[in-house]
Amino acid sequence: MPRHAAHPHPKKAGPQPPYSAEKQAPPGKDKQMTPKADHGEDSYTGSAGLEDKVAIISGADSGIGRAVAIAYAREGADLVLSFLPEEEDDARETAKWVEQAGRKAILVPGDVGKKKYGQKLVETAVRRFGKLDIVVNNAGFQRTYDEIGDIPEDEFEQTFRTNVFGTFFLSQAAAEVLPKGGSIINTCSIQAFEPSPNLLAYAPTKAALVNFTKALAKALAKKEIRVNGVAPGPVWTPLIPSTMPKEKVKEFGKNTLFERAAQPAELAPLYVFLASQDATYVTAEIYGATGGRTPF
């Protein structure tokens, strides 16, 4: 199983608030974060759990996506990395870590909300690597508003298009080529079960993903393809300083039992487990990692 270097008590396994509230322009840049996010660059040790597998990871430029990419590469997988064109600098940093692990990284920028782009990702994996084994639907769009009347129509639509349509389109394309034993993993959220009032567009998309995960698992069971979700609580990623109010950024994660936000590296082992042969009896499940706030 995947493992990390020895950590101290969970409260001390990552930086605690207060965090820097310096605002970023969305979708945010990893290099501009203070404190720096830990993606497992110096801590994750693989154990060949995904040897010679091929995975697509959306939102692979930073945050959970980068941490999963590093972990998958160190477990032996080759990757197709999906990201927005404006996030290419961060995506190239992810690719660098994948290549340092001795695996291949194919960069394919684009908008997951477009059906043709989801098809392109799958076609790229099959053309470049000859197959596709794993899909991680991780790309997400989030904005915060204090009043429902302030949410622009186009942003409401974009939130659903990225988070829900993007997951649907990529899963739809992948289902045509995934083999028996293949795996789809969706990044859900605690927001699906404990929604925040200032995330009135984002939270419902995550509830939709929980429902979609369970329904798709039933639909693909006949093909022996497993579908699961990970529901994180607060995680220190570029989305936070670029989309949340300064006062919330400063105290982000303080309301968990460990009084801090998770680091992306702490989520990656769940994605490794769900993609691996250790999870052959696991499907239609939602795995929470919320620092003790799990309400489901």
Among 252, 251, 210, CA closest to 235: 252
Report pTM: 0.93
Query: Does 286 have pLDDT greater than 60?
Result: yes
What percent of the chain is predicted at pLDDT more than 70?
A: 95
Question: What pLDDT is recorded for position 53?
Answer: 98
The CB-side HSE value for 153 (13 A sphere, CA atoms) comes to: 0
Assess contact for 124 and 57: CB atoms under 8 A.
Answer: no
List % helix, strand, coil for the chain (3-state, nearest 5). Answer: 40, 15, 45
- Around Cβ 48, how many Cβ atoms within 10 Å? 9
Going across the sheet that includes 286-289, the strands are 105-109, 78-83, 54-57, 134-137, 183-187, 226-232, 286-289
For 235, residues 6+ apart whose C-beta sits below 8 A from its C-beta are: 63, 64, 261, 262, 263, 264, 267
- Around Cβ 210, how many Cβ atoms within 10 Å? 18
Our answer to whether residue 202 is catalytic in this structure is: yes
Residue where the block lists tokens 């927001």: 191
Assess contact for 262 and 189: CB atoms under 8 A.
Answer: no
Averaged over 267-293, what is the pLDDT?
Answer: 97
Pairing mode, if any, of strands 105-109 and 78-83? Answer: parallel
Domains of the chain, start order: 3-289 (3.40.50.720)
| Average pLDDT over the chain, rounded to an integer | 93
What percent of the chain is predicted at pLDDT more than 90?
A: 77
Query: Does 62 have pLDDT greater than 60?
Result: yes
Report how far apart, in Å, the C-alpha atoms of 9 and of each of 38, 259, 287 are. 17, 12, 22
Q: Which of 72, 202, 271, 287 is catalytic?
A: 202
Q: Please work out, in degrees rounded to the nearest 5, the angle formed at the alpha carbon of residue 214 by the alpha carbons of 188 and 224.
A: 115
Averaged over 45-63, what is the pLDDT?
Answer: 96
